[in-house]
Amino acid sequence: MRFRLKLIVFFLILVSGCFADIIPTSLKCEYRENPVGIDEPKPRFSWVLESNQRNQGQTAFQIICAGKKELLQDKVGDLWDSGKVNSDQTVHVVYNGKPFQSNKTYYWKVKVWDSQNRASEWSEPESFTMGLLNSSDWQAKWIQYDTNPLNENTELHLPPCPYLRKDFTVQKKVQRAFLYVSALGLVEMSLNGQKVGNDFFTPGWTDYNKRVYYFSYDVTPLINSGENVIGAILAEGWFADYIGYSILVNWPQKKNFYGKVPALLAQLVVEYADGSQTIIKTDDTWKAATGPIKEASILMGETFDARLKMDGWNTPGFNDKEWTPVQPGPVYYGKLQAFPGVPVRETQEIKPTEITEPRSGVYIFNMGQNFAGRVRLNIKGEVGTKVTLRFGEMLHQDGTLMTENLRKARATDTYILRGDAEGEVWEPQFTYHGFQYVELTGLPNSPDLETLTGIVLNSNTPRTGFFECSNDTVNKLYSNIVWTQRANYFDVPTDCPQRDERLGWTGDAQIYTRSASYNMDIDAFFTKWLRDLNDAQDPKGYYPNFAPVAFHRTSGQHYFFSPGWMDAGIICPYTIYQVYQDKRVLEHYYDNMKKQIEFYGTVSENYTCKQDIEAWGDWLSFGSKTSNHYIATAYYAYDTLLMSEVAAILGKDDDSRYFKNLFTKIQNAFLEKYWKSEGIFVDDSQTTCAMAIYMKLLPEDIEKRAAVRLAELIRQNGNRLSTGFIGCKHLLPALSEHGYDDLAYTLLTSTEFPSWGYEVVNNATTIWERWDSYTIKDGFKKGMNSFSHYAFGAVCEWMFRYMAGIDMEGYGFKNIIIRPRISRDKISYVNADYNSIHGKISSHWQREGNNVKLDVTIPANTTALVYVPSPNKKEIFENGTVIGKHKDIKSISSDDGCTVVQIGSGPYKFSFNLTD
C-alpha cells in the first residue's frame, strides 16, 4: 500500500510538472470582456497571465476561434487556429481567420507556453458578437414623432418626450433574439415592459453630421411566445437639446444644433429553432403618443406628470387606438457604427447623510458626496401634488442651496403625483446633474432619509488604480480625484457635470489623460472620444477647444484655437499608445496629427509662435502669468518631439527624422527667445520652468538651472504653487526629476491657500475648478465656478509615478520601472496598486526612521527595474537575502544615488536604510 501511494504521489508530481505554472485570464476583445455588437472586421485579443512563481513569462501562444462554443470544448477553431506562435505578445493580437458574419456570436480561447516551454491549460472560453457589418443589413428606417408644437414652457423650449410602440407576434420556438438600436437624440428601449439593457444616454454624443452609433442587445429572455410589444421613449439629448453655454453667451442659435426632432432606428432580429427568422423594424407601422415625461433636458432637468402615466403602454393588450402613426425620420447620410466605447451606467447608490430645513417647507438633503447622476424619489401624497427638486454643489451660509455657479442650467426636476395610496417611486430617465445637495419643495409631509436615494451615473470605466498613504489629507485628495473623474467621464471627458457647459474640453482632457489611466481603464472610452476629437478637427489642421463641437460651428463661425487645448489631438493618442500599446490608434489618426504640426507652422515665425497668438493660456493660474506665445511654442516643440516618436513606432523613418530635425530647430529658437543668460526665463514663472523640464525642451545643463529656478520661485512664494491648468500637471514631476522630492511633498501635503489640501480641509469631496472656488476670507467665487473639475487632479500622475514609483520603460508596462520617492518627513508609507494591461503592479513602501521596507509585485510576462534609494548594495536585502547573492536578482547597477536591480515577475520584499 505504501509503495502504491508513493507511485501515485510521484505520478502527480510528474504530471503537474508537465503543465505551465501560468494561466491566461481576463480575456478581452477590443478592450472589452464578451463585447456584444462590434463592427471591427479584424478585432484584437488580449489577456493577462497569472502565476504563483517568480520570473515566469510567455514564450508562445495559441488562439482558437469558433462559431460554436461546443467546438472550443473539442479544441477546434473552425474560424481561426493561430497554431503555436512563438511570441510573448499578450495584448492586441490581431484576428487573422475567416470573415465574420453580421449578427453572429463567436467564441475564442487561448493557451500559452511558459518560460520552460510548458503549455498551460486552455483559458475559459470568451465570446464576442458582431453587429450589423453592412449597410444592407439594415432593413429598418428612421422614424420620429414631432412633439415640438406641444411645448408648454414659456421660457425654454422643452417639448414632451415621444413614446413609440410596435406589436408583433412570435409563433415559433425562439433560439436567439438581438436588438440593434440607434437614435438621433437619446433612447430607452423596452420589450414587453422590461427595459432593454442597463445603459443610459444611448447612443451617446457624436457629431451627428458625420456618425451616429448603435447599441446591440441580446434580448432572447425578453421575448414571449405569442403577443409581444417593443417600445421606445425618445428625448432630444445632445442632438436637439440645449448644449453648453449657448444661452449664457447669447449665441444666435440656442439649441437644435444637429436637428430639431429626435429619431429612432431599431431592428429586432428573432431567430427560431427551425433556422428561420423574423425582423421587426422601425417603419411606418409603428405608433406614437406623448406620455408623462413633459420635459426632458440634460442641462435643464426633467418634468414627470404621473397623472399621465400609461400603464402597460409597452406590453401586450394595451389599447393604442388613440395613438398616432409615426412620421418618417430624416434621410441620414452619416456613418452608422457600433458603439466602441464605455456606456453610461448606474455605478453606485448613495444615501443622504442629513436633512435640514433652512426655510419653512424647504428641505435640503446632503448626499455626503459631490457626484454626477440623479436621485430616486420615494413619496406618498395626494393627486396633483407638485414636488420640485433642485440641485447644487454647495450651500450658502444660511443653509440654502447655492446655484449661482450653474449659470443658465436650470438643473431642476419636477414630479407631479398621481396619488397612489401605496406611494410612488420615480427616477428621471434623460437628465443628470452634478451635485452634493438636493433641495425639495412642495412635499406633502416632512421627509426622512429614505425619501431620496442618489444614483451615481458615469461611463462605466473599470477601476484600475488604488492608492493610500499615511497622510489623511492626501488620501482624501485621492478620493476626490477619483470621484471627479467618475463625474466627468460621461460619454465624453467633460469639464464639469453641473453647469451650462459639460463639454469635452480638450485642454482638460490632455492634461489629465495620464492620471486618468492610472485610476481607471480608459482605453475603450478614449477609442470613442478620439473619433469625436478627429471628427471635430478644423480644416486648417488645428483641433478644437472641445469635442464634439456643436454651437461654435453654427452660422459658419469657428471658435479660436488654443495651444494647450488643440494639442489633445496628439498627446491623447500618444498617451493611449504609451499606456496600452494601442498601435492602431496611432495608425488611424497619424495624418490628422501631422496636420496639427503643419498648422503650428502657419502661426509661427522663425520656429516660435507669434506674439499675438490667442489662447486660454495657463488657465486659472494664481498669482503669476505665463505668456500665450510661450505656452504655444512649448507645445509646438513637445508635439513635434512626440510625433518623431510616433512616426518611428509606425515605421515612418523619413517622417521621424523630419520631426526630430524640426524639434531641434524649435528647441533652438525656444532657447534663444525665452532663456536668459541670468538663468531665468523671459516669462519667469513656475509654469515656464515646469513645462520646459517636463517636455524635455532644454539641454541637460540648462534644464538643471531651470529646476533650480523652479525651486527658488516656489520658496519665494512661501512654498506655495501658482500654476494654472497647464503648469499644474508638470509642476511636481519637474521637481522630482531633479531631486526636489521634499519640495514636491511639501506642495502636495500643504493645507495653506492655494493648495490641494486647502480644498480638502474646507470639506471638498471633489476637485475644484479654481484654487479660489471657495476661500474662508471671500466665500464662493462668483461667476464661472465649478466644484467638480478634474484638471488640477492631474497631480494624481505624480502620486502614482513618483510617490509610489510605478512607471515604465517603453510602452504598455511591459518593462516596468519601480522608483518610489521616499518622503523623509511628510509621509511614512504609501500603498499603490495598478492593474496595467499586462496585469497588477504593486508598490508598497513603509519608512520607520531610516529603515524602509519596499514590497513590490510584478505581473507575469513582464520585467522590472527597481530603483532602491540606497547606494550600498551590501545593505539591501530581498526577503532576508543580500541582493548581490540573490538568485532572482538578475543585474545590479547604480544611478543617481540609487541601486538599480532587475527582477522578473512575482512578489518581492526589499528592506534597506535611507542614506543622506
Query: How many whole angstroms separate alpha carbon 190 and alpha carbon 588?
Result: 36
The dihedral region occupied by 665, where left means phi > 0, alpha psi between -120 and 50, and beta the remainder, is alpha
Strand partners, 818: 806, 866
Peptide bond into 203 cis (omega under 30): yes
Integer CA distances (angstroms), 437 to 366, 367, 488, 625, 738, in order: 5, 6, 18, 35, 44
List of residues 6+ apart from 843 with CB closer than 8 A: 804, 805, 806, 818, 820, 830, 832, 854, 855, 856
What is the DSSP pairing of strand 335-338 with strand 211-218? parallel
DSSP letter assigned to residue 560: P
Q: What is the C-alpha separation between 492 and 551, in angstroms, rounded? A: 17
Strand partners, 170: 226
Q: How many CB atoms lie within 10 A of CB 746?
A: 19
80 is written with which cell numbers? 481561426
Grid coordinates standing for 357? 430645513
Cell of 534: 478627429
Pick the catalytic residue from 30, 501, 703, 878. 501
Q: 652 phi and psi, to 5 degrees?
A: -95, 75
Report which DSSP code applies to 200: B
Phi, psi at 752, each rounded to 5°: -80, 155
Spatial distance between the Cα atoms of 92 and 46, rounded to a whole number of angstroms? 5
Residue 602 to residue 480: CA distance in whole angstroms: 41
Residues pairing with 293 in the sheet = 304
Per the annotation, the verdict on 769 as an active-site residue is: yes
Residue 310 burial (10 A CB sphere; 0-12, 13-18, 19+): middle
Give the N- to C-terminal CA distance of the chain in Å, as an integer: 65
Residue-wise DSSP of 165-234: EEEEEE-S-EEEEEEEEEEESEEEEEETTEEPSS-BSTT----TTTEEEEEEEE-GGGPPSEEEEEEEEE
**817 neighbors 824 (Cβ within 8 angstroms):** no
Per the CB < 8 A criterion, the answer to whether 288 and 264 are in contact is no
Residue pair 570/534 in contact (Cβ under 8 Å)? The answer is no
- Dmax (CA) of the chain: 93
524, 28 Cβ separation under 8 angstroms: no
Tell me the three state secondary structure of residue 454. strand
Q: Which of 424, 759, 769, 878 is catalytic?
A: 769
Helix (H, G, I), strand (E, B) or coil at 375: strand
What is the SS3 assignment for 455?
strand
Task: Find, among 51, 218, 215, 203, the residue nearest to 127 by Cα.
Answer: 218
Nearest alpha-carbon partner for 409 in 289, 518, 499, 534: 499
**What are 718's three cell numbers?**
512661501
Q: Which residues are the active-site residues?
A: 501, 769
